[in-house]
């Protein structure tokens, strides 16, 4: 494998022996392929639950390159849940601005407060406790366990779900996707296995233009790039996102970015959101930002909370 030792873990640098038994689901040999090819991403070098949690929340619908730039800056300002919880939520939103889906910043702040109030300031290491945190779903909770604690749990995001559906050759129900992901994890290899499947979906088994000839699963894949794609409509696989340019999402992001600098008065609202000729739209979308806890208004000006 290009002169690299395929059995040396990128997480620890220590030699890794492949498990002797093949689990049901994806073939265990995939682990050997992954250990020599994992992407060099900054959050893969840490095992701190808060740091992993922040990375995983950022990575939801935000490009990896953008997160790689902003993740260390965010942690430099909020290195622990306690520091984040003590900050005004508006300050956290301002720091998040530019990453998109700013509601995630509100949930992350609420999570930090919950961790401080109910877990002594330490992100919990129990699946049920993680799922109880505000805005934390099954993927993020399991990702914290797999990547911080190296637990043998299967994680399912849109990349993993796409790989599993194509490997199976059919649409999968939510329970089937999670069961296959869990069953595929080789004992003692939760960290490396999940990183490998994520990278396979992100770089080879892509939603568009998958490179099946380069795929280590091609010999056993039920789809192999032929016929209708079973990933379309399968549980956990995202559909195509609506265009961002000219969307309400774009206007929301513009307003949050503007408010990170200064309050905006009512006369400047439509201009700040990029719709100078459509003040009604600006007011409607801004009202949703207020409902989401991202913005506050006194009826004359708009502010971050």
Strands lying side by side in the sheet with 264-265: 264-265, 301-303, 296-297
Q: Going by C-beta distance under 8 Å and a sequence separation of 6 or more, which residues neighbour residue 34?
A: 192, 193, 195, 196, 197, 199, 200
Neighbouring-strand partners of residue 302: 264, 297
C-beta separation of 269 from 230 below 8 A: no
Q: Going by C-beta distance under 8 Å and a sequence separation of 6 or more, which residues neighbour residue 236?
A: 156, 157, 158, 160, 161, 172, 174, 177
Q: Which two tokens stand for residue 220?
A: 């056993």
| Catalytic pick among 56, 91, 171, 261 | 56
CA distance 183 to 31: 14
Q: Which two tokens stand for residue 132?
A: 């109880």
What angle in degrees, to the nearest 10, is found between the helix axes of 89-96 and 64-77? 150
Neighbours of 191 (CB within 10 A): 23
Annotation says 29 is catalytic: no
Q: Can you state the percent helix, strand and coil of the chain, rounding each to 5?
A: 50, 5, 45
Give the catalytic positions in this structure. Answer: 56
């Amino acid at each position: 494998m290009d002169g690299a030792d395929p059995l040396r873990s990128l997480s620890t640098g220590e030699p890794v022996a492949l498990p002797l038994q093949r689990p049901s689901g994806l073939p265990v040999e995939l682990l050997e392929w992954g250990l020599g090819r994992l992407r060099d991403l900054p959050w893969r070098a840490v095992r701190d639950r808060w740091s992993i949690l922040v990375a995983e929340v950022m990575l939801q619908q935000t490009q990896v390159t953008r997160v790689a730039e902003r993740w260390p800056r965010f942690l430099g300002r909020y290195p622990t849940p306690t520091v984040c919880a003590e900050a005004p939520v508006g300050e956290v939103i301002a720091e998040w601005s530019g990453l998109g889906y700013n509601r995630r910043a509100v949930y992350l702040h609420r999570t930090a407060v919950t961790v401080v109030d109910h877990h002594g300031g330490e992100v919990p290491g129990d699946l049920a406790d993680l799922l109880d945190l505000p805005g934390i779903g099954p993927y993020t909770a399991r990702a914290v366990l797999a990547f911080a604690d190296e637990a043998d749990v299967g994680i399912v995001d849109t990349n993993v779900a796409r790989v599993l559906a194509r490997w199976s050759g059919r649409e999968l129900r939510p329970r089937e996707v999670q069961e296959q992901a869990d069953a595929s994890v080789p004992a003692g290899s939760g960290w490396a296995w999940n990183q490998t499947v994520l990278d396979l979906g992100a770089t080879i088994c892509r939603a568009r233009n998958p490179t099946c000839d380069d795929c280590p699963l091609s010999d056993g894949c039920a789809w192999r790039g032929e016929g209708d794609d079973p990933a379309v409509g399968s549980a956990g696989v995202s559909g195509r996102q609506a265009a961002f340019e000219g969307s309400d999402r774009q206007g929301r992001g513009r307003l949050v970015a503007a408010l990170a600098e200064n309050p905006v008065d009512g006369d400047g609202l439509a201009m700040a959101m990029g719709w100078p000729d459509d003040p009604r739209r600006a007011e409607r979308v801004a009202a949703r930002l207020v409902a989401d806890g991202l913005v506050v208004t006194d009826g004359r000006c708009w502010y971050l909370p």
